Amino acid sequence: MEGLQKAFSSLFEIVIVLEDGILIRDVLSDENPIYTLVDIGIIQTGVEDALLFTRLIPLTDFCISCGTSFPFRGESKSLLIAKYKKEVSRVKKRKAGVKMYAMFYRQWKKIGIPFEYRDFSVVS
């Protein structure tokens, strides 16, 4: 429950894809922190330097994603950061989360990487 209270959305750059997780950097934060993301779908399809707008739930040693993620090519980074800064400067803080989601969704429809959800099975 505590992780849900600390959940946040941002634009992340995939730094390294490992077999049990992905290291991602928050490119919208001034500190550019790196997180370990555990998400089977992204582990299987993630590409280093690609960007991902998603919502993270931080747990003790790693994060999980929740909701829909919007993938982008790495070369879109400067454009997306500029659009984000422009959008955030125009809205009130309490509405920033919804506006940020809508802005990244619109950008994903224009320049994002198309994807589809597929079933997967877990082998134990």
Q: Where are the domains of the chain?
A: 2-111
Query: For residue 37, what are the contacts with CB-CB under 8 A and spacing of at least 6?
Result: 12, 21, 22, 23, 24, 56, 62, 63, 64, 65
User: What pLDDT band is residue 115 in, cutting at 50, 70 and 90?
Assistant: confident
**Per-residue pLDDT at 66:** 87
> Is 3.40.50 the CATH number for 2-111?
no
- What beta strand segments (E) does the chain contain? 8-17, 22-26, 34-37, 51-58, 63-72
Alpha-carbon distance 8 to 78, whole Å? 21
The per-residue pLDDT for range 44-66, each reduced to its tens digit, is 788 899 999 999 999 989 999 98
The per-residue pLDDT for range 4-33, each reduced to its tens digit, is 678 999 999 999 999 889 999 999 998 989
